[in-house]
Amino acid sequence: MKQIAVLTSGGDAPGMNAAIRAIVRRAVSEGLRVLGVQNGYAGLMANTMIPLGSREVSGILQRGGTMLGSARSEEFKFVEGRQRALANLAERGVDALVVIGGNGSQTGSLALAEMGFPVVGVASTIDNDLLGTDVTIGTDSAINVAVEAIDRLKVTAESHGRGFVVETMGRDSGYVALMAGIAGGAELVSIPEQELSPEQIVADLGAAFERGKRHALVVVAEGVRCRATDIASYCEQHHSQVGFSLRVTILGHVQRGSVPTAADRLLGSRLGSGAIDALLAGRSGVLVGLTNDAVSLTDIHEVGGKKKQVDAGLLSLARTMAL
Ligand code: ATP
């Protein structure tokens, strides 16, 4: 193995740059050359790759997003698209590929590995819904943004005795909403894995005020059927019985673009370096993750298309802490 390529795919996540930097510097330490593929699998098919040395990845550790750009590509899901990508990798003299991304991206990396090309994946998505790792790159930063927003909203909520609904990112997964709810001290959390009805949310927030609370705040993951605005509308429609109204804050993409926390920089550095170790050991079709605080390799067959479940104990903790 003389030259490897690296790409970032799917949603950008704080800490992806730390992983790119670690991949490049660990590879350089072994005498390998590195190409950075721009814009994910789309760039692999368009043959847009740039040489990356140690200096090209200077100054990115503390930056959110990804210096390589990311993209979603339907074309790569078809064998013709992947054949084009393989032809470009062959033309550039690339011997192996590292894919930094979430569930969909790792399904793509497995598809490429199954066509005979050496590929390893690095677990990165703010959602933390990937099996094969305790935590994914970007999750800690996303939780911290949500907690900071909750802290600020609680100051206003307490001053005015108001209710708030905060909607976090998380298409299919409620992990970030749940963890932010616990760390921020929310009264309720509604997530796709355990969605609450607007009737229940409004009744429980009302009960929180009756227990003497000065604020009532619910965190909602964007993947629920009854979104933040629906809950606030329900509350408004029943205002005379409920006695309070709910203000809505949708965090949306604000949650993605943060400065990576130290935890995400460390995770990116460890997993990126681990990806090169895996390739040097001749591994392919594996996801590099963190299990029990050690870098781990998991067959992507066991990971792709599956979803990590949220811990029922954490849901129960969120409820108890709101008493
Ligand atoms: P995030 O969790 O942050 O959204 P993700 O990696 O799950 O990240 P996706 O949009 O699901 O993001 O996938 C990223 C890209 O991976 C897709 O646009 C596509 O190019 C590729 N991909 C997804 N599924 C497959 C598949 N079954 N076969 C080949 N490629 C795939």
Which pLDDT value is given to residue 240? 80
pLDDT in tens, 185-223: 999 999 999 999 999 999 999 998 889 888 899 999 999
Q: If you search the block for the tokens 């050359």, which residue do you land on?
A: 33
In whole angstroms, how large is the CA radius of gyration of the chain?
A: 22
Ligand 1 atom index nearest CA of 13: 3
Q: Encoding tokens for residue 122? A: 């690095």
Enumerate the active-site residues. Answer: 127
Which pLDDT value is given to residue 239? 82
pLDDT in tens, 25-80: 999 999 999 999 999 999 999 999 999 999 999 999 999 999 999 988 999 999 99
In 3D space, the residue among 278, 295, 294, 305 whose CA is nearest the CA of residue 119 turns out to be 278
Q: Check whether 158 has a pLDDT greater than 90.
A: no
Ligand 1 atom index nearest CA of 106: 6
* Ligand 1 centroid from CA 11, angstroms: 9
Which pLDDT value is given to residue 34? 98
* Ligand 1 centroid from CA 2, angstroms: 28
Q: Check whether 226 has a pLDDT greater than 80.
A: yes
Which pLDDT value is given to residue 215? 83
Read off φ and ψ for residue 118, nearest 5 degrees. Answer: -65, 120
Distance CA 130, CA 286 (A): 13
Q: Encoding tokens for residue 90? A: 């062959």
User: What is the rounded average pLDDT of the residues 6-12?
Assistant: 96
Ligand 1 atom index nearest CA of 9: 14
pLDDT in tens, 98-156: 999 999 999 999 999 999 999 999 999 999 999 999 999 999 999 999 999 999 999 98
Q: Encoding tokens for residue 57? A: 């990845």
As a whole-number percent, the residues of the chain with pLDDT over 90 amount to 83
Confidence band of 238 (pLDDT split at 50, 70, 90): confident
Domain 140-256 has CATH 3.30.420.10: no
What is the average pLDDT score of the chain?
A: 95
Which pLDDT value is given to residue 96? 98
**Which residues are CB-contacts of 239 (< 8 A; sequence separation ≥ 6)?**
245
Query: Would the CB of 101 count as within 6 Å of ligand 1?
Result: yes
Distance CA 242, CA 204 (A): 11
Q: Encoding tokens for residue 10? A: 């799917």
- Residue type present at position 253: H
Q: In what order do the strands lie in the sheet with 216-221?
A: 188-190, 216-221, 163-168, 246-250
pTM: 0.95
Distance CA 199, CA 111 (A): 45
Q: Which residues pair with 287 in a beta bridge?
A: 121, 298
Distance CA 78, CA 278 (A): 27
CA angle 246, 182, 265 (to 5 degrees): 115
Query: Would the CB of 121 count as within 6 Å of ligand 1?
Result: no
As a whole-number percent, the residues of the chain with pLDDT over 70 amount to 100
Give start-end residues of each CATH 3.40.50.460 domain in the chain. 140-256
Q: Encoding tokens for residue 127? A: 């959602």
H-run or E-run covering 110: helix 103-113
Distance CA 283, CA 84 (A): 23
Domain 3-138+260-302 has CATH 3.40.50.2300: no
Give start-end residues of each CATH 3.40.50.450 domain in the chain. 3-138+260-302
Distance CA 292, CA 272 (A): 17
Residue 260 region by backbone torsions, left for phi larger than 0, else alpha for psi between -120 and 50, else beta = beta
Q: Encoding tokens for residue 223? A: 């993947």
Read off φ and ψ for residue 234, nearest 5 degrees. Answer: -60, -45
**Which residues are CB-contacts of 323 (< 8 A; sequence separation ≥ 6)?**
211
Q: Which residues pair with 250 in a beta bridge?
A: 167
**Residue of 37, 39, 72 best suited for mutating to test ligand 1, as the one with most atoms within 8 Å of CB:** 72
CA angle 171, 174, 180 (to 5 degrees): 120
Distance CA 201, CA 247 (A): 14
